Amino acid sequence: MCASLLVVEDDETISEFLVDNLRQDGHAVTVVGTASDALVTLRRARPDIALIDVALPDGSGLDVVRMVRSGEAGSSDIGVIVVSGRGTEQDRIRAFERGVDDYIVKPFSYPELLLRAASLESRLNGRVASVLTVGSLTMDLAARAVTLDGALIHLPGKEYELLAVLARDPNKVHMKEDLMERIWGYRNCGTRTLDSHASRLRRRLTAASDGPWVINNWSVGYSLRTVLQ
């Protein structure tokens, strides 16, 4: 992996450490120290992955994540890893609800950070350019476009990824732990984040077309069904 990385970190010791080591490992690295500079950089260039601290001098890194996923900060589908000194369950849940792909707590192991970034880059590059069709639902994976009954549906990053997993095998009950591991990279940290994303996805699809699109199967897992199934 030789990804282009944006480091959003106001601690100079940490940012210099990351820049020096990531560049030695062959990556193109840009570093900024504020949320406002991060947004300017993201709108000007598209890194493969952004490493974002939560506590920034002019705001929260989670606000940067929210603007990335909403498309306000350029491309909405870049990889996002939070690197934060805050490591409670609520901190992680809040970050995943904003749409981050991974969460690393300081102090961190650099080899582990490198492996997590490589794993994320592999997942991003592994998205196959194809079209999935389930009833009147269509997903163009190359364009990251979702249509339902011919209407374009705008989905945040994690809801889109959840729908893509379900649409590939719509009648299968996907276990919650498997979905957590596949989409968030964690298997044993609870499923409240998954449940909240699935609930929002269900509401968006139902608002566009009546029917039980996202099915919660006995609290074990989720499947995707059209109204005709």
**pLDDT (tens digit, 9 = 90+) per residue, 176-201?**
887 887 777 666 667 888 999 999 99
| Average pLDDT of the segment spanning 108-123 | 86
Q: Which of 81-85, 98-102, 112-116 has the highest mean pLDDT?
A: 81-85
Q: By C-alpha distance, which of 52, 48, 60 is closest to 84? A: 52
How confident is the model over 196-218, as a mean pLDDT? 85
Residue 158: its pLDDT value, please?
85
Which pTM was predicted?
0.57
- Domains belonging to the chain, first-starting first, are 4-125 (3.40.50.2300), 131-224 (1.10.10.10)
Return the minimum-mean-pLDDT range out of 60-64, 73-77, 149-153, 202-206: 73-77
Q: What is the pLDDT of residue 71?
A: 80
Range of lowest pLDDT (45-54, 92-101, 179-188): 179-188
In whole angstroms, what is the distance from residue 64 CA to residue 172 CA?
35
